[in-house]
Amino acid sequence: MRLPTALLMLFYLVSRVVASPLDVYQRNSISIPLSRISRGTTMEDVKAHLTTVSHKYHVTSRNYALNTGSPHSLSSRGPPYKLGERSTGSLTGDGNSVTLKNQGANLWYGSIAVGDPPESFTVQIDTGSADLFLCSVRCSLSCVGHQRYNARSSATSLDLCTPFVVEYGNRTEVSGDEYTDVVELAGYKAINQTLGAADTYYPDFAASNAPDGLAGLAFQEISSYGAAPFFQTLVDSHVLHKNVFGVSLSSQKDKGELRVGGSNPSMYEPDTLTIVPVTVKGYWQIQLDGISRNGEDMIVPTDKAQAIVDTGTAFIVTKPENAVKYYEDIKGARAVDEIWTVPCDTIGSHAPTLTFGGRLFPVSSSTFNLGPVHEGSIDCIAGLTGMPGIGGSIIEEEHWIIGDVFLQNVYTIFDVSNTEVGFAKLKL
C-alpha cells in the first residue's frame, strides 16, 4: 500500500523532532581539550599539597559542626596535621560542558563569568569544599598575575559586610569579604551567589599560572560562609535540565571537562555506570566496599568505611595504618613523612582497585605512579598515602579521600537532587 504524501511528510517531520534533542545536545556541548601545565612533582610539592588537604578537612569538618550542630565523624580534636612533623615507616547525558585544565598533579580548573558586565575568571573545581572565592582588587603581591574581582565595577554585586577567613596551611589563609553577585558557568547563571573577594591568597594559588580562585561543589553543610554553594544555587533557581554535573579528569586529549546540567555519555561506557548513595550530606561521601591489589582483598574497609570524592585532592588518602598494610609486603616500598615510594620498575604492578556499589574500578599504573622522587631516582612516588586524622577520631569510622589518582580513571557523576555519586569506566 502506498502511503499518502501528506502522511509521509508527517513521518519525516516526526523523525526530525525525535532526532532533534540529540542534535541540540551535540550543538550545545562545549568540549575543549584538557591542557596540562607542566610542574614537577617533588617530595616538597607533595608534602605541601597534603598539608593543604589536611587543613581543608580540618576547616570543612569544623564548618559541618557549626552549620549542623553535630560533629562530623571526620572531625579531629587536635590541630590539622603538617607533613614533616613526624615520620613513619539513573543518570542521563545532557547539559553544557566547560574546559577543565590540570595544573601539576592536583589543580583542575575551568572558567566562570562574574558580575555585570561579566568578567572571566579561572577557578579550581573542588568537590571537597563548598565555597567560591576569587582574587580581590585589594589583593596585592599574592594575587599578581591573576584576574581580580572588583565588586564596585559590577552592577549586580552586594557587599554583605561580612569578613571570611579560610585556613589552607601552616600560617597561610585566604581571607577577605563576602559579597553576592551573578555567577555564570557553561551558560547557566546563579543569581545572588555568595562569594568571597580575597585580600590575601594562599601560596598554591599565588603562582601566575594558577587559577584566579576556587569553586567548591560540595554541600552547604561544610560551607565557611554558611551559604548555598554555587551549584546548589543553580539547583534552587530551577534553571538546570537535571540537577547533575559530570566530571572527567582524564589526561587524554579532549577528555577533560565539567558537564553542567547532565552527564556526557560519549565519554563513558553506560553499562558500567554504578550509582552509590551519599551517606552523610556535606561532603560527597559514599560507602567504600573495599580495596584490592593484584586481585586480593586487603586493607579492607569494613561496613563503616566512608569515601569522600574530592577533585581537589591529588591522592588516595587514608589513615597511616592502612597505608602501612597496603605497602608492607611490597619489596622496596618505604615511607618518608607518610608519603610512600616504590621502585619505579615495579610500581605499576601495585596499583589498587577500588570497589563501589559492588563494581571494581582499577587505578591505572600511569596515574598511580606520580614520577621519580628526584631526577635519576630509581624510586617513584605512589598515589596512595597515609595522613593522621583521616580515620575519624570522634566515631570509630574509616575515612578515605578519593582524589585524582582514582578519578582520572573514571567518569564521575554528582547528582544533587538524589544525593548520589555515579562512577563509570571512561571510553578509550
Active site residues: 126, 310
Q: Which residue has the cell 585589594?
A: 138
- 183 beta partners: 114, 190
DSSP string, 63-122: HHHHHHSS--TT--SSPPP-TTS---------SEEEE-EEETTTEEEEEEEETTTTEEEE
Q: How far is CA 300 from CA 321, 323, 325, 348, 405, in A?
A: 12, 11, 10, 21, 19
Q: Are 259 and 94 in contact (CB under 8 A)?
A: no
Distance CA 213, CA 230 (A): 13
Which of these, 129, 285, 287, lies nearest to 213 by C-alpha position? 129
DSSP string, 384-424: EEE-TTTT-SSSS--EEEE-HHHHTTEEEEEETTTTEEEEE
Which of these, 155, 27, 176, lies nearest to 96 by C-alpha position? 27
**Nine cell digits for residue 413:** 557523576
Distance CA 335, CA 327 (A): 9
DSSP string, 147-163: --B-GGG-TT-EEEEEE
CB neighbour list of residue 225: distance below 8 Å, 6 or more residues apart: 131, 162, 164, 178, 194, 196
CB neighbour list of residue 74: distance below 8 Å, 6 or more residues apart: 57, 61, 283, 308, 390, 392, 399
